[in-house]
Every structure is written in structure tokens, then in C-alpha cells.
Amino acid sequence: MAKAIMIQGTMSNAGKSFIAAALCRIFRQDGYSCAPFKSQNMALNSYITADGCEIGRAQAMQAEAAGIEPSVLMNPVLLKPTTDVGSQVIVGGKAVGNMNAAEYFRRKRELIPWIMECYEKLSAQHDIIVIEGAGSPVELNLKSDDIVNMGMAKLAKAPVLLVGDIDRGGVFAQLLGTLGLLEPDELSMVKGLIVNRFRGDIGLFDSGRRILEERGGKPVLGVVPYLRCDIEDEDSLSDKLSSREKGLIDIAVIRLPRISNFTDFDAFAQYDGVKVRYVSRYEELETPDMVIIPGTKSTISDMKWLRESGFEIAVGRLAAKGVPVFGICGGYQMLGETISDPLGSEGGGSIKGMGLLKCSTVFGAEKKQVQTHGRFTDTGGFFSCLSGAEFSGYEIHMGTTDSSSPQLLDCGGAYEGSVYGSYIHGIFDSPQVSERIVKQLFSSKGLAFGGGTADRHAYKEAQFDLLAEGVRSSINIELLYRIIEEGI
């Protein structure tokens, strides 16, 4: 069976996912077979494995860092929020229904046998398992029957590293407060602290390190600087979602209330002069070079929000001026004429869409979960340059869309003039797609294409290496391996 190390954080977005990814890459570089694991993930960013199972995007990203194929064994339980008090519950990569928070908390202990079955199978295949926690391990009102933080550490007999985020302030309160709220048996499982996202001269934190070690009674493995590498993030608190910076090419993504898979647009960051910004108010939209309407877990309610917020009118005016608009998954559905949910798959009801594509969507009982690849058709309009371009990606959706608009892809989708829609998540990751789009956007403004790394895989590999280098040079690797070897 594999050795294990668990990364827990003082709060959401403390950097657990990135530290876990860095360790996956470091262990791979050092010749070990390793795999990520998160027993229960809550995220709207998800990924479809080769065998059609849905898992958290972070575990897929960490698997890439480890150089292995993503598997449902890495994320046995996924919660996708549908409302403020309820989520779609996905077990073993398949949706088992919607539950409110109270119902799920009553039933989650039933999931432990499945979680441990996945963990043990994964452990039998690798040398090291990098386990990621969720949120904070000391949410005292939620600690009973915990299956993702200290509860999981106990089940896996995994030593714990606690990560605090100094960039958001209060790192002493974060780390020392968390240690102070742990039970004695839990405290004994914490083998070290990591201070994450430090800006400036790390030497100035030497006294801070001593204070943490003296008061916390735990060694500080390292102080990790604020690393500027482009790694996919699934957290709704991601810095990417607050970006307002414009580039020579300005791509505006509408930040829907239930936005999902916002990592679909990370590919554009690899091109010089291109900036992606997320807009929450129609006044922020202005006149971008391209508008993207992303996926969502609640298509009908987010369509209503688009209408009430003024985005529907604003996007319609831009499309009428020839500004390209691209909808992905739920965004594609919203660009159509009607959206209906007769079975209540996502809350029920029906609503009129934006009417920019001649298509209608009806939600059914079955969710489509599949990896796919293909080509663009003989596409017209603003992005006629996409004709024949090869793509690959995956589909995750409940709805079936019928269209009388010209077909965009050999497997569906639609377009009308400068408006395009597709169900394919990750479609922009294909270099033939993203590079042609960027070149066309530069050309339409009379600008020379600035270049970039069209090979998305090579780009991501380089970013993982940058992340691993930054973390490796900042922490005590010898102590890390000793903690793993000694266990608990």
C-alpha cells in the first residue's frame, strides 16, 4: 500500500489544490508513482474521465501534474451546488440526485465504505497518495461525521500538513487558531505548517517562522512565495474571476451566479497580448473583442439573471455589431430560443432564451458525460477560420438541444453570423481552435498576431514544472519525505 501525505488548509482557497499539485509533480520528478485524492469535493468545475465519470477539475489537474490519467478513484464524491442550500450529489462519477444540505449531512457516513474502497484501490496502484482536504478542518458545527478533513486523515492514517494563506492576512490567527481548535488526537496528526503566497523578501519572515513554531509546536516546512504560474483553479474564489485587466485582445466572460468550468478559457492566457476578464455587471462589459457565456449548473435561473441584470440586452447589441459571442454548454443553451426543464432536473420550469441561435433545449433525466473529439464544419461568420479545425474535450449536461441554425461541429453545436454555441468543455484547449480564434481577433483589429505557445499540453507541463520548482525551493524536502516515511 502507498504512503500518504494530506494537505489541509486554514480556509477555502488557502492554496491546498496548488500545494497538492506541486507535490504530485515533485514526487513524479523524484521517480515516484503518485496520485491525488479528495474524498469529497464541492465544485462547479468538473471533468469527465475517459470512462465517462465526473470528478472535480482539481483532481484532474493534479493527476496531470502526476503524469497519470484522471480516475474516479481520485474523487469518489462530488457535490455540485444547485442552490444556496442544495447540491447535485455525484457518487462514483454519476449523479445520484439532488439533496439539501441537511439531508446530505444525515447520509454522508453511508459513503465511507465507497470512499475507502476507492482510496485502497488507488493506494494499491501507487507509491504515494497526496490527499487534499476541503475548507477548514475546524468548522466546529460540521465536524461530526467528517469525511474530508481530519476524518479522512484518520481513515487513511495520513500525516497532515496545514497550509495558511499569508496574502489574505491573519496567517498567525489562521494557523495557530486552527491548531488551537483541533482535538488532541487530531493535533498529533499535524506534522508541519506551510505559509503560502508570501510577497516580498521571505527573509523578513524569519521571526514569524519562529513565532509559529514556538506557539504552535509544529515545524514550519517552508514559506512559499506568491508563485506566478498559470495553473487551473476550480475554486470560486479564484483570483482569475476578479481579473479586470484588458489586453490588446479583450475577451470578456460573463460571470454567471452559478458559473461552472471557468477553466475552459485558460487556454487564451498562453497567447501574448490576450487577456480574459470576468464581468459581473453589464456596465463592465463595454466593447470587448469577444464575449463568452460560460457553463452553469442552473441554466434557467442564470438565464433569468442575464435578463434582469441587463446582460441580455448588452450582449444582443454587441452581437448585432458583429462582436463574436461564444456560448459553452449552459451558455450555448441560453443563446437559443427556449429552455425547458419539465422533470425538474435543475429546478424545473421554462424560460425564453436570448434568441441569438435558432435552437431549443429540453432537460431530461439523464446527464450526458462523455469525452469527445471531432472537427468544425465548414463554418461561416466571424470565425469562419475555424472550418475544419480539430478539437477534443468533454460534455457534461442534462439538456438535449434541437437546432435549425447551421451546425458548428460534426457532433452538434450551432452558429448564426458572429454567434456560436457548443456543448464541448475544453474546446479552446485544442491549439487549432484557440490559435485560429486569437489570430482572427488580432486580424480584425488590424494588429499583428503576438504569438504564444499553441501546444496546450506543453504549456501546462511547463507551468507544472514552474510550480514544482517554486515549492521545492521553498520547503524542507528532506523533512517532507521523513514525515511521509514515518506516517502517524
Active site residues: 329, 425
The DSSP bridge pattern shows strands 349-352 and 338-341 to be antiparallel
Nearest to 115 by CA among 153, 84, 159, 143: 153
C-alpha 246/C-alpha 108 separation (Å) is 44
Return the SS3 of 425. Answer: strand
**420 CB contacts (<8 Å, ≥6 apart)?**
324, 325, 326, 327, 381, 383, 408, 413, 414
Residue 237: count of CB within 10 angstroms of its CB? 12
C-alpha 340/C-alpha 61 separation (Å) is 33
Q: How far is CA 145 from each of CA 84, 112, 141, rounded to the nearest angstrom?
A: 22, 10, 11
DSSP string, 227-282: ---------TT-GGGG-----SEEEEEE--TTEE-GGGGGGGGGBTTEEEEEESSG
Q: Residue 108: in which H helix or E strand, if any?
A: none
Q: Is residue 84 within 8 Å of residue 42, measured between CB atoms?
A: no
How many residues appear in the chain?
Answer: 488
**360 CB contacts (<8 Å, ≥6 apart)?**
336, 337, 338, 339, 340, 353, 401, 402, 403
C-alpha 391/C-alpha 420 separation (Å) is 15
**125 CB contacts (<8 Å, ≥6 apart)?**
2, 33, 35
Residue 309: count of CB within 10 angstroms of its CB? 17
Which amino acid is residue 320, in one-letter code?
Answer: A
| Residue in the block written with cell 450526458 | 368
Q: Residue 312: in which H helix or E strand, if any?
A: helix 311-320
Nearest to 360 by CA among 390, 397, 404: 404
C-alpha cell at 486: 514515518
**311 CB contacts (<8 Å, ≥6 apart)?**
254, 282, 285, 305
Residue 381: count of CB within 10 angstroms of its CB? 16
